[in-house]
Structures are given as structure tokens and as C-alpha cells.
Structure 1
Amino acid sequence: MNKASGITDMTDANTSVQKDHLPSAAGVLTNTQSHHGKFICFVLSLTVLPYEQSMCLQPLLEMKNLSLTAGDRLKVKGIIQHDAERFKIELGCDTDDIALHFNPRFDDDADGSVIVCNSKTRGSWGDEVRDTHNPLHRGREVKLELTLAGDVFEVALPDGQQLQFPNRENVDVINYVRIAGDFKLTSFKIC
């Protein structure tokens, strides 16, 4: 842990960020890569908390200053805690403007095991979309792939099914990613 910044190096959390994304001691990533035939450089502000500190949906991973566009994919791999209540993956502009809130819940009051998707605009949540098809299970490893596909977000689920959620605010660039909750993140890849 870098005491000056309060940021934990990803190697301390046994987490990998792939595609040439290696953390510096200060928790800031710099990457230059070819993207759609153009060389781009972006700086990511990254915070990874150790698994034990991730209670109350505190972020396991928070990335800012991204520049993800239609067709870009996020591959997330991890283990759902054996006593998990929920976890979330959020994509958007910042904490007040979330284009996709993907929130598997394992003991929801209304529907039991459910996947809830939503969006937040200027700090206000929209209407929840609830899907009772939840192939995610407590205590198991999971691989998810999230894609901004223009007017919808697509989430590839481990059973081969695909969940779609509308891009309600027509966001064309994702600058912010947050993963939090009862989940041990083991790999995060941008492709």
C-alpha cells in the first residue's frame, strides 16, 4: 500500500489488469496503444482495495479518465463471495452519471436471485430493469464481458446468455468504471 496516496498496488490484491496496463506505485496507469488504427495515450486513476476492505459496496476497482467507445469490451473475472448479497459493475462518465449499473443480487426481497440494471443521470436513478434469469452463483468463479454496442450495453453471462440494457442517455464514451461489493476481482481486461 502506498501510504502517501492511500492506494493499494494491484499486485497486493492479487488482481491483474491486462493489455499493457501495469500499475505504478502511485496507482496511476499510463498507456499508449493503437486503437482503431490511431495511437492514443490515456492516464487512468486506479484504486484497488484488498478483498477484506470491500464491505458495504466500497470499490474493489475504480478507474477514471478512460476513453472507451462503441465496440470496446471489458472482461471481468472474479469469485463471488460464498455469502454474497450483491455486487455491482458500473460504466459511465462519473459517480453521478452511470450509463450501466449491473447489479446481481442473491437474496433480493422481491425476486430472490435477480440481476438489476439501471442508470443514473445527474445523481438521480432511473427505473430498474430486473431479470430473474441469474446464472451467477455464490462461491463460484465468474467471467463477464461488458460491451458498449451503441444504443445498448451487452453483458455476456457465463451460461452463454446475453443481457441487454438500453443506453438511455446515448453515452458514446465511457470514462468511468467501478466494481464493488461481495466479489473478489482477479482479472480485468480492456479489449
Structure 2
Amino acid sequence: MIRDILSVFKDLNANTDPGDIAHAASCALLLAFVPRNNLLWPLLFLLMCFIRMHKTVFLLCLIAFSFLTPRLDAFTDALGFRLLTLEAAQGFYEALYQIPFVGWTRFNNTMVAGGFLLGVLCYIPLYAAVRLLLRLYREKIGPKIGGVKLASALGRLPLINRIVSFLGNEKK
């Protein structure tokens, strides 16, 4: 687990595709907005396990966003209520509810519908923001951190070298 967390910092500077990292953060936000007490959450989680993205970033962002999303519950509930009471969509909801097992997704719950819609709406802006921040980090911040004497001094400490070599051997 520690090796995976350390690999995130290494991947921020490596040849890891920025899209994989941005996609992981965006998918984590989408999943964090959806309540976990329905069939939709595990289905989305399972789907995201098969999508190409940085899985460690996905799990870390999912944990972080899960702590932040309860503060948006009132907004999510209001958004879901507006979505579910759209007169034009009532026929679609009735047809959807008649499909076996779809009712278990609780799409008719205001929190589930609002959370899913909010996650979908936030997906592209977060994706673009993470790509931009990652590019700025790789071009401007990362090289400056590498040149700091404290960072290179920490890299030469015997304890740090042992931890890194131990984690490297653990991989094999």
C-alpha cells in the first residue's frame, strides 16, 4: 500500500499519461457523489475497475472526495428533486422502472439522481483542471522541487534509501 502511494508521486513526474490521472480523479468524484446504498454504486465501481486509469489515484481521490461530498447533500438532494420532477421525463422514468433490477439502482431517489447528475456535470471540468494542474506541476513545480537541497538531502538519508530499496524488492 505504501509503495502504491509513493508511486503516485513518482508518476506525477514520469511518463504516465496525464489523461489517466485526470480520468481517475474525475471518475472518483463521480462515484463519490453517488450514495453507496444502491445497486448503481457497485456497478459504477466495477465498471471503473475495467477502465484504463491510474487506480491508485482513483482510490485516493475516492477516499478524499467521500469526505467532501456530504457537505453538498442539500444541493444534491435539490438537484435530484428537480431532475426527477421534470414533467417531460416522467414517461422515461416509468419505462425505466419497469426494467428488471433497474429499481435496485434507486435512480428514483433524489440523492442518487442528483449525485449522479452532479458527478456527470463535474466530470469534464475536473478532468480539464487536473490535466492543467498536472502540466503546470511537471513544467514548473516539479523541477524546482528536484533542485531543492532539502529534497536531495532526504534522498541521501540511509533510512530513506532502505525504505525505497525495501519497497523496490517487495514488488518482485
Structure-1-length-normalised TM-score: 0.19
Structure-2-length-normalised TM-score: 0.20
Q: 1 or 2, which has the higher helix percentage?
A: 2
- Larger relative contact order (Cα-Cα within 8 Å, sequence gap ≥ 6): 2
Larger Rg: 2
